[in-house]
Amino acid sequence: MKSTKKSRSVELSSRKAGPVPVKRPRGRPPKTRPETPPETPPAPTPPPDNLKYLENLLIRLVSPLKSLPVQINEGVVYIRPEDIAFITTTAERKLLIIDREGKEWRRFDSVKDMMKKLAGDPRFFLSHKSFIINIYALKAIRKNPETKRVEATFGDQVKGAAAVSSGNMKELKGLLEL
């Protein structure tokens, strides 16, 4: 009999060395609380080019204005609102639309009618009775030493500048958060 006890103890000791089977409880598993997700770090800021692109997309979604049709000799050209630098009047009482690349387009409208069309778009501002400016295309506001008037400039490619009346200057500064 002694030999059987020894063999049993040998068997038991050899069993302990291996993996122990896990006893699973019967019935439903206990309810556990969902783990709270770890705090996610803020998303990295995209490069400036992407920010400008995202800003343009958001404004397009918000803006009720679609492309403006302009009659030319060959047909009709559609100008996207974000490409417009400023709009003014000509001596013939036509609208002159100057885009960010410096191209000029003529349209048979008045400034009042155009401002009504652009009223829902946050980019456009009536800076003077004969000028509508795109505040997102604006590069600088300065006082012209020759004429002593305040002007809005739009970069190297755009010839000319848009006048800003003294009455509208305060509102423009508010829009630009200056």
Q: How far apart are CA 66 and CA 80, in angstroms?
A: 7
pLDDT given at position 39: 61
Q: How far apart are CA 12 and CA 145, in angstroms?
A: 103
Q: Letter for the amino acid at 69?
A: P
Distance between first and last Cα of the chain: 101
pLDDT given at position 159: 85
Q: How far apart are CA 175 and CA 32, in angstroms?
A: 53
- For residue 98, the surrounding DSSP H or E stretch is strand 95-99
List residues bridging with 69 in a β-sheet: 78
Question: How many other C-beta atoms lie within 10 A of the C-beta of residue 96?
Answer: 17
pLDDT given at position 111: 87
The strand pair at 162-163 and 150-153 is best described as antiparallel
pLDDT digits (tens, 9 = 90+) for 1-21: 555 555 554 555 555 555 667
Q: How far apart are CA 95 and CA 136, in angstroms?
A: 20
Q: What is the pTM of this model?
A: 0.62
Which CATH number does the domain 49-176 belong to among 2.40.50.1020, 3.40.50.300, 3.40.50.170, 1.20.1070.10? 2.40.50.1020
State which residues of the chain have pLDDT below 70. 1-20, 24-25, 27-49, 56, 59-65, 178
pLDDT given at position 131: 93
